[in-house]
Every structure is written in C-alpha cells, then in structure tokens.
Structure 1
Amino acid sequence: MISGKTRGFIALCTMGILFGIMGPLAKDAMNGGIPQFILTGLRIWGAAFLFFGWSHFLPKVHVPLKDLALLALAGLLGVAGDQGLFILGLSLTSPIDAGVITTMIPVFTLAMAIVCLHRRPGFRKIIGILIGFAGAVVMVLSTTGATDKTGSVAGDLLVMAGMLCFACYLVFFGSVISRYRVDIIMKWMFLAAAFFMTPAMLYEYTPALWTEVGISAWLELLYVIIGGTFLAFLFTCVGQKYYPPEVVSVFNYLQPIVGTILAVAMGLSVLTFDKCLGALLIFLAVWLVIAPQRKKFSENTQ
C-alpha cells in the first residue's frame, strides 16, 4: 500500500515534469501563430471542460456558496493571475529574466508561510529552498544566448506578480482544498479563471486564426491543455493534500531540468557542466526539504 506522503511525492514529481515539458511546446505553439492570450484562454477553458467532464461521472458533492467563492478566488490567483501575468510579462521581457523570476516561487511561498501562517520550516528546509533556487538559476543562466532580447522592468514585475499569485494560492487555500475531491476543486477554479480570461482571449481572436495556424501548433496546444494544464494542476492538487505549501513549491525547481533535457533531445541545446551542476543542486534541495528530520539527541535523552 502506497503511503499518502509517497503518493504526494509521485504526484508532485509528475507535476514538475508535465510543467517542464509544457514550456518549450507552448513557446513553439506561439511561434507557430497562436496568440498568447488565445493560447492561455483555450488552455484554461479546455482544462475546465475536462474537469467538468471527469466530475460528471463521480458522485455529486454539495459545495457551500462560501467555499465556491474561495475556490473562485483560488482560480483567479492560481490559474488566471499566475498564467495571464506570466505570459504578458514574457512578451515584454527576456526569457532569461522570466525563467530566473519563476524560480522564486518557493522563496515567495516560504516567506509568506512564515509571515502569514506563522510556520517554522526549520533550518534545513530553508537551506534546501535556497540551494534549489541557486541550482535553478544556474540551469537557466546556462541556457542563455546572445540572441535573447533585452529584458524590461515592467515585464519582470509582471512575471513576478504572476509568481506571487501562485504563491498566494499555495499558501492561503490549503484548507478549502483539503475538504473536497480534486475534481471538485479544479472544475470550479478553472471555470472562474476561464471567465476571467475570456475578454483578453476575444480581444486577440481573428477568424483567420483557424487557417493560418499549422497542425503542429494545434497538436502542441493539445498537450498544453491535457498534459500541461489538466494533468499538471490535478497532480499539484493531490500534492497539496499531503505536503505544506513551501514543500509543494520546491517541485517547481524540476521544471528547468525537464526543459533542459527536452531542449537537448530536440537539438536546441547541449549538455554542459553548468546544467549538470544545477540539476544536482536541485535534487539535493528536494531531498533536504522532503526527507524527514531526525529528532535531536537531547530530546531523546530527556
């Protein structure tokens, strides 16, 4: 029988892999002609339909209006705010800047958990998060190229705002998430986020979109909806049931590893010492944060 912690660990590792694969494919889909907010809107609406379809075959659960409001707010922060602000910021700044700021999610989450929830994560967990941040930065900076466009303060701030939205989601909505099945949580979160993103999606829509975009871009969007959104957020929610927010956020450090492996496999990058060093630092960080701490010897001898 798999324990809850093991189930949560597997779910969060899968989440990191799915999100890591999504990045290059989503970028390629946008390069193929799908506008940024069209992609984000279709991604969120597609996942919402999948979650409602899945929930249709499961026993009905009554959700009080108060909890529906909380789930809607969680969707605005953890889905629409996070993804919408990130894509808007990415359009203004460089991918390098955006990648480095994305690795700040665990740092933001830890700081908010300490200040707002009065958590005491322990010295080893703090060191693990900082080591993971260093490893992620090493991996991101190792992929820099001379062709990257210059970053901008406005774009950097928008990306940072998106990461803060996701950190708020991890920190403040653990209680309501623990009370319901995954399908119940996700369908209401994504429905609220989908309605919020619809105006931006309609603003970018043109009828020529269906004829100008190639089949490969639509297939990449299909993965973004199913793998990079539906399954990735599902596994995130499963992990939240077994681990505190500062631990869940650390698995975001797996994304640079997956992205690098995919880029090397596609011939878009080469494996370097910096990438290997960054990966080792990230694995060390995850172990430091996840592994149970032994009680102090003094506590055992009193």
Structure 2
Amino acid sequence: MSKRTLAIAAALGATTIYGLNHTIAKGAMPHYVQPYGFIMVRVIGAALLFWAISFLGPKERIAKKDYLRILLCAFLGMGLNMLAFFKGLDLSTPINSAVLITITPIIVVLLSAVLIKERIGPRKFTGVTIGLLGAVGLIVFGAEQRVDAPNVPLGNLYIFANSIFYGSYLIVVKTLTDKYHPFTFMKWLFSLGILICLPFGYGEFVQINWPALPFDALWRIVFVVVGTTFLTYLFNVFALSQLRASTLSAFVYVQPLIGMVFAVLSGQDTLGTVKMVAAGLVLLGVYLASRKPRMGRRHS
C-alpha cells in the first residue's frame, strides 16, 4: 500500500473520529466537565501520550529558526482552536457544530490566497461566497431552545472561529511536517498547549470531581483524549506529509454526514429545515471552492 493511500486512510479516520466527537464530547459537557477544563484534560493527556511514544521516532532537535513557527502552531492548533471549539460545542448543538466545521476548506482557500498568493478564480470565489452564506445563515437563524444549548448563536460563532484557527494551523504546520518526524514536534506542540490553555482552563480543570464521574462520562473523556486528540492529530500530521493542506481540509466533507447521522440516531439532536439548508449551502460552497480545475483551465 502506497504512502499516499495510507495518508488518505488516515485523513478519513481522523474526520470520522471528528464526526463522532461532536455528539460524544457534548454528552460530557457541562454536567461532568466544563469546556475549558475539558481542554486541559485533552492537552495534558495528549502531551503525555506523545512523550510516551516519542522514543519510537528518531532523535531530532527543533532548529532555533523554527521556534516561532512551533509556538504559532501551538497557539493555533492546541490553544485557540480547541478552546473555541469546545466552548462553541458547549453553547450550541452537535449538528450545528458538524455543519460549521466544514467551513474549514474555505478558510484554507482564503488564507492560501493571502499568505501564499494562491489565486482565487471565479468558481472558487463563488464557492467561498455560498459557503460563507450558509455558515452565516446557521449562525444567525440556527438558534433553538434547548437546555443543553444555552446560547446557540454565540456557540456557532465560536465554532466558526475554530474553523479559522484550524485552517490557519493546517497551513502553518505544513512546513514542520515536511521537516520533522511527527513525534518530534507534536510532543512539543501539546506541551506548549498546556501552558497556553492553563490561564483559561485551570479553574474548571481543578473543579472536575474525578472519583464521582460515572462510566458514561469517563469513556467520553477517554475518547476525546485518545481518539479526538492523540489519534486525529497523529493521523492528520501523517496525512499532511503526503497531501496538500487544501486536500486534507477537503476531507471535512465527511464530518457533517457522520455527525448528523450519529447525533440523530443517538437522540442528542434533531435535523430541521434551517440546518439542512445551511448544510447544503456550506457543502456546495466547499465543493466549488476546493474542487481541482479541469485540465486546460487555469482560472480557478
């Protein structure tokens, strides 16, 4: 099996875990753990896991010229990204989260145009516009009265911000994936992530009553730490070593499908008209924005 095939499998594995995570993580918040406290559990757990397996990789040192990039990646991927997503998921619903997260490829297209001067042709521009309309529509009109979703518009806004941070992370981290073994920089990224998230999550982290947590909460926490954090970041780093950031971000298409089906089947969310229309607009926009141009056409 070629490395590219393995990279595609890893990307599909990561996006499947992410799709399930919208509902699984939501089930633990806020009754058993608050969102920022949950993030502290994530970054601490992932840092320990990456340090534990780091001996399996080569002995490498991070070059001094890459220190700033490492710090920026930690802020975007292990700090702002996670904090915004879990706060948004706490305030909003699993399906809203699954839909809004698909805006990431559009963010990557826009950032690629700004940072690496990649041209946005008419089709990509149309896709970006449609996708953003869907996202804005869900943020503005997707509010619903639910006990476990106290502020859906604000939560949707947090999740939208998460897509911006994660899209930025995919672009910035690409240089590191080309230069270092995943174990080398992931252990440092999550170690820095602990320091970055500490001011936000310490208070909620120490409030977690571990002895009193039921099994239903514990398995969800383990899934988030091992699956949604450790495995997905490992899968994505490997996928980035073989695929472009824009290609990897396109795998997010699968997330709303998995997220919606799992949320509805588990009884933790419902699929209304606004969500369906918004999801359709976002997916259409993402498809147009990230589809490769046909041979002979250079304007897209």
Give the 5 Å matches for 1:141-290: 145-147=144-146, 148-151=149-152, 158-206=158-206, 209-269=209-269, 282=283, 289=290
Q: Could you tell me how far apart the structure 2 residues matched to 1:187 and 1:193 are?
A: 10
Mapped contact 1:81–1:162 kept (Cα < 8 A): yes
Q: Could you tell me how far apart the structure 1 residues matched to 2:297 and 2:157 are?
A: 46
Superposition TM-score, scaled by structure 2 size: 0.79
Q: Could you tell me how far apart the structure 2 residues matched to 1:3 and 1:208 are?
A: 41
Q: Secondary structure at the match of 1:226?
A: helix
**1:151 to partner: Cα distance:** 4.0
Q: In terms of mean alpha carbon deviation, does 8-17 or 188-197 score higher?
A: 8-17
Quick check: 1:55 aligned with 2:60?
no
**1:59 to partner: Cα distance:** 2.4
Quick check: 1:76 aligned with 2:75?
yes
Superposition TM-score, scaled by structure 1 size: 0.79
Q: Secondary structure at the match of 2:242?
A: coil
Which amino acid counterpart does residue 56 of structure 1 have in structure 2? F
Q: Deviations over 1:230-262 (max 9, x none)?
A: 111112212222333333222223222111121
Q: Could you tell me how far apart the structure 1 residues matched to 2:160 and 2:135 are?
A: 16
Which amino acid counterpart does residue 72 of structure 2 have in structure 1? L
Which amino acid counterpart does residue 112 of structure 2 have in structure 1? A
Q: Secondary structure at the match of 1:62?
A: coil
Per the alignment, do residues 40 and 256 of structure 1 end up closer, same or farther by CA in structure 2, a change over 3 Å counting?
Answer: same
Q: Could you tell me how far apart the structure 1 residues matched to 2:188 and 2:134 are?
A: 35
Mapped contact 1:104–1:133 kept (Cα < 8 A): yes
Q: Could you tell me how far apart the structure 1 residues matched to 2:287 and 2:10 are?
A: 14
Gaps of 5+ in 2: none
Mapped contact 1:29–1:221 kept (Cα < 8 A): yes
Q: Could you tell me how far apart the structure 1 residues matched to 2:156 and 2:271 are?
A: 28
- What percentage of residue pairs aligned between the two structures are identical? 25
Mapped contact 1:139–1:257 kept (Cα < 8 A): no
Which amino acid counterpart does residue 220 of structure 1 have in structure 2? R
- Computing the radius of gyration from Cα coordinates, the structure with the larger value is 1
**1:34 to partner: Cα distance:** 1.4
**1:278 to partner: Cα distance:** 5.1
Q: Deviations over 1:22-52 (max 9, x none)?
A: 1211111124411222211111111111111
Q: Could you tell me how far apart the structure 1 residues matched to 2:231 and 2:58 are?
A: 20
**1:114 to partner: Cα distance:** 0.7
Q: Could you tell me how far apart the structure 1 residues matched to 2:106 and 2:50 are?
A: 30
Q: Secondary structure at the match of 2:62?
A: coil
Q: Could you tell me how far apart the structure 1 residues matched to 2:157 and 2:270 are?
A: 30
Mapped contact 2:38–2:205 kept (Cα < 8 A): no
Which amino acid counterpart does residue 16 of structure 2 have in structure 1? I
RMSD: 3.7
Gaps of 5+ in 1: none
Mapped contact 2:85–2:162 kept (Cα < 8 A): yes
Which amino acid counterpart does residue 168 of structure 1 have in structure 2? S
Q: Could you tell me how far apart the structure 2 residues matched to 1:139 and 1:201 are?
A: 28
Mapped contact 1:34–1:213 kept (Cα < 8 A): no
Q: Could you tell me how far apart the structure 1 residues matched to 2:29 and 2:247 are?
A: 32
Quick check: 1:33 aligned with 2:32?
yes
Mapped contact 1:51–1:183 kept (Cα < 8 A): yes
Aligned counterpart, 1:87: 86
Which amino acid counterpart does residue 196 of structure 1 have in structure 2? I
Per the alignment, do residues 99 and 21 of structure 1 end up closer, same or farther by CA in structure 2, a change over 3 Å counting?
Answer: closer
Q: Secondary structure at the match of 1:173?
A: helix
Q: Could you tell me how far apart the structure 2 residues matched to 1:14 and 1:137 are?
A: 29
Per the alignment, do residues 55 and 35 of structure 1 end up closer, same or farther by CA in structure 2, a change over 3 Å counting?
Answer: same
**1:284 to partner: Cα distance:** 10
Q: In terms of mean alpha carbon deviation, does 47-56 or 103-112 score higher?
A: 103-112
Q: Secondary structure at the match of 1:29?
A: coil
